[in-house]
């Protein structure tokens, strides 16, 4: 369903961008942004809830955005969209990855074709659209230190204790704004609404964000949360969410965040099946400036929101430690010797 919907989105996007592409010109940024969305049907109006708010309820999985990088590859500079040839090549590469699922089914294997849910790429070549180069701002001295000191399973080979694992390794959170963006799989997002409250449920790490619309202020700064504390309001048809009160070190951005992280999001229903998601992210202690994310969400009412079990049996963290730490070298050698003895006895 998502693939079929995306192909429709792609056709509409190319049609809107065609006059510029035919001339070999880069359309101005507002036209490029609009080209990602299908035009609303004639006479269409934003639907309303029973209490009068714009109705964003539904499933908006972002797995189909998995082929679009967060940061723009440096070779594109300030060019925000792929050329025809670049897009055809990227689309073909993505299709070959998707075909691996069927190939693995045919031979009875389960590999990355089953694990990764990446979809096809957007014509847009990065999720970050500001600064103009589509890349994160430079880090401050503190940001550089926090990044260099961060330990995760991606940069560590010997594990001694829990401090050698990142927040994602431990299935705590992906933080903000990463939790609103695609990972390798489990990309479901579902929006619920009630009077004065919006709930955003995330399939990966099964978190739910609560956005308070009753005019309350955030709690004192010392009250902190992994995903921050969100208050919102409606500006016309757009839901504006301001999130603060973050617990330090709980972000998977360019560097671990400080308690000064602030995220402002806009959710705007562009047509019956697409939301424009925008997020401005700043952390003055960590980054020299802010960046903006700007991506389309595509409705998929039939999407299945599955349990995110992370590592089955909750044994993998312990396994990393016992298999790499020098503290367990003697136990590993004894287990290996016993295994060899059994193997010899079986001959």
Q: Could you tell me the pLDDT band of residue 35, with boundaries at 50, 70 and 90?
A: low
- The mean-pLDDT minimum among 7-11, 35-39, 150-154, 172-176 falls in 7-11
At 150, give phi and psi (nearest 5°): -70, 130
> What's residue 235's pLDDT?
98
SS3 75: helix
DSSP H or E segment with residue 128: strand 128-130
> What's residue 76's pLDDT?
96
> What's residue 34's pLDDT?
53
Q: Could you tell me the pLDDT band of residue 33, with boundaries at 50, 70 and 90?
A: low
- Give which of 295, 300, 306 is closest to 203, Cα–Cα: 306
Tens digit of each residue's pLDDT (9 = 90 or more) over 259-313: 999 999 999 999 999 999 999 999 999 999 999 999 999 999 999 998 887 876 7
Which residues are registered as beta bridge partners of 198? 193, 211
Q: Which DSSP string corresponds to 235-293?
A: ETTEEEEEEE-BPTT---SSS---TT-EEEEEEEEEETTEEEEEEEEE-TTTBSSEEEE
Tens digit of each residue's pLDDT (9 = 90 or more) over 64-101: 888 899 999 999 999 999 998 999 999 899 888 888 88
When the pLDDT of each residue in the chain is averaged and rounded to a whole number, the result is: 87
Tens digit of each residue's pLDDT (9 = 90 or more) over 149-162: 999 998 999 999 99
């Amino acid at each position: 369903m998502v693939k079929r919907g995306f192909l429709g989105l792609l056709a509409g996007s190319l049609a809107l961008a065609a006059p510029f592409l035919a001339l070999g010109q880069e359309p101005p940024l507002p036209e490029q942004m609009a080209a990602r969305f299908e035009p609303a049907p004639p006479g269409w109006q934003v639907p309303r809830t029973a209490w009068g708010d714009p109705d964003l309820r539904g499933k908006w999985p972002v797995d189909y955005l998995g082929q679009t990088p967060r940061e723009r590859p440096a070779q594109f500079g300030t060019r925000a969209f792929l050329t025809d040839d670049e897009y055809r090549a990227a689309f073909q590469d993505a299709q070959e990855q998707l075909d691996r699922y069927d190939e693995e089914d045919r031979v009875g294997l389960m590999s990355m074709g089953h694990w990764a849910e990446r979809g096809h790429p957007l014509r847009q070549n990065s999720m970050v659209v500001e600064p103009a180069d589509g890349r994160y701002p430079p880090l401050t001295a503190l940001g550089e230190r926090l990044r260099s000191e961060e330990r995760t399973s991606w940069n560590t080979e010997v594990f001694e204790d829990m401090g050698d694992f990142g927040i994602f390794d431990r299935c705590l959170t992906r933080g903000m704004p990463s939790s609103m963006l695609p990972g390798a799989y489990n990309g479901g997002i579902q929006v619920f609404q009630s009077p004065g409250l919006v709930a955003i449920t995330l399939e990966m790490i099964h978190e739910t964000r609560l956005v308070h619309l009753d005019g309350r202020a955030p709690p004192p700064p010392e009250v902190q949360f992994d995903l921050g504390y969100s208050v919102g309001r409606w500006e016309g048809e757009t839901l504006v969410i301001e999130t603060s009160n973050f617990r330090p070190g709980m972000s998977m951005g360019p560097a671990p965040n400080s308690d000064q992280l602030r995220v402002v999001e806009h959710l705007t229903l562009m047509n019956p099946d697409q939301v424009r998601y925008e997020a401005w992210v700043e952390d003055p202690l960590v980054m020299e400036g802010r960046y903006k994310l700007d991506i389309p969400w595509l409705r998929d009412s039939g999407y299945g929101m599955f349990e995110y079990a992370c590592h089955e049996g909750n044994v993998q963290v312990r396994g990393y430690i016992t298999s790499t730490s020098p503290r367990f070298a003697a136990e590993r050698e004894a287990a290996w010797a016993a295994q060899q003895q059994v193997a010899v006895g079986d001959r």
